[in-house]
Amino acid sequence: MTGLHDVLQHPSIWRASDTLQQESCAQQTQQHTATGFSQLDKELPHQGWPQNELSEWLSPQWGIGELQLLSPALAQLSQQQRWIVWISPPWQPYGPALIQQGVNIDNVLLIYAKTNSEKLWAMETCLQSGACSMVLGWPNNVLPQQIKRLHLAAKKGNSWCLLMRHSDYAQHASPAPLRIMARMAGAHVELRLIKRRGSWTSHWIQFPNLLTAQFTSTKPTTISTKSVSPDVTQGSVKTQPFVPANFIPTLHAPILRDQ
């Protein structure tokens, strides 16, 4: 009598594990950025942050340690001759702390957009330009179709898009391949991968010894002007002298329409 194991070996039998294995082999050549935290690398597909797709970072509030967790990746990506773009962050990044963590702030660009449509337009434009290694954006509301469009732009430009959203959106469906949930647990920061390729939701990963350097500042700064490479934007923009730059669009951006 033929056993179940022998039946499953027949070439006409489709097995989900075969598909996952084939996809894994096909993706081995993709480059990924180490997170700097071994416990997090073990949980991520390919042991690091992706470099050419969209990921979601979901948090109940900002300033609870997300920059400390991202600083090793920021330091690595900032060594490329491409921009790391911050679009409408809720706080002013603190240059000296970024420098202390090894971030080359000459390659950091800060963009402020007036409307949600302009935020999405700026994200898509930067991602698909090929001139940016990473784009972090804080749009207010994003539809699944818009997330998919940003993901495709990241693929086209070989850029990592990090979509920063409130944790309430964790209950909403999303086409993002990777979704990270953050929270405070006492004095510690915890992360959970609520969506990832090839595996189920992870357990909560604790980071008890994050650096306490000040990464943000609310102090006003003097404004000067200079030009930004036309690969990303057009014309002259206003920038802050200490860098990263403070880009304020002078024209209304095209609406990122649902397609």
Domain residues of the chain, as ranges? Answer: 31-247
Radius of gyration of the chain (CA): 20
Token reading at 41: 């690398």
Q: How far apart are CA 216 and CA 96, in angstroms?
A: 10
Whole-number pLDDT of residue 50? 93
The DSSP letter of residue 5 is H
Whole-number pLDDT of residue 11? 54
Q: How far apart are CA 80 and CA 70, in angstroms?
A: 16
Q: Is 66 helix (H, G, I), strand (E, B) or coil?
A: helix
Whole-number pLDDT of residue 17? 56
8 A C-beta contact, residue 132 and residue 126: yes
Neighbouring residues of 10: CB distance < 8 A, sequence distance ≥ 6: none
Query: How many other CB atoms sit within 10 Å of the CB of residue 129?
Result: 21
Whole-number pLDDT of residue 46? 85
Query: In whole angstroms, how far apart are CA 172 and each of 52, 56, 153, 169, 257?
Result: 23, 12, 22, 5, 20
- Rounded to 10°, the helix 144-157/116-129 angle is 30
8 A C-beta contact, residue 69 and residue 189: yes
The tens-digit pLDDT sequence of the chain (259 residues) is 566 666 666 555 655 555 554 444 444 434 789 999 999 999 999 899 999 999 999 999 998 889 999 999 999 999 999 999 999 999 888 889 899 999 999 999 999 999 999 999 999 999 999 999 999 999 988 999 999 999 999 999 999 999 999 999 999 999 999 999 999 988 889 999 999 998 899 999 999 766 444 555 544 332 222 333 334 443 333 333 333 333 333 223 333 333 3
Q: What is the dotted CATH code of the domain comprising 31-247?
A: 3.40.50.300
Whole-number pLDDT of residue 10? 58
Whole-number pLDDT of residue 32? 87
β partners of residue 224: 239
DSSP secondary structure string for all residues of 133-192: EEEEE--S---HHHHHHHHHHHHHHT-EEEEEEEGGGGGS----SEEEEEEEETTEEEEE
Whole-number pLDDT of residue 79? 95
8 A C-beta contact, residue 225 and residue 88: no
Whole-number pLDDT of residue 94? 86
HEC secondary structure over 68-120: HHHHHHHHHHCCCCCEEEEECCCCEECHHHHHHCCCCHHHEEEECCCCHHHHH
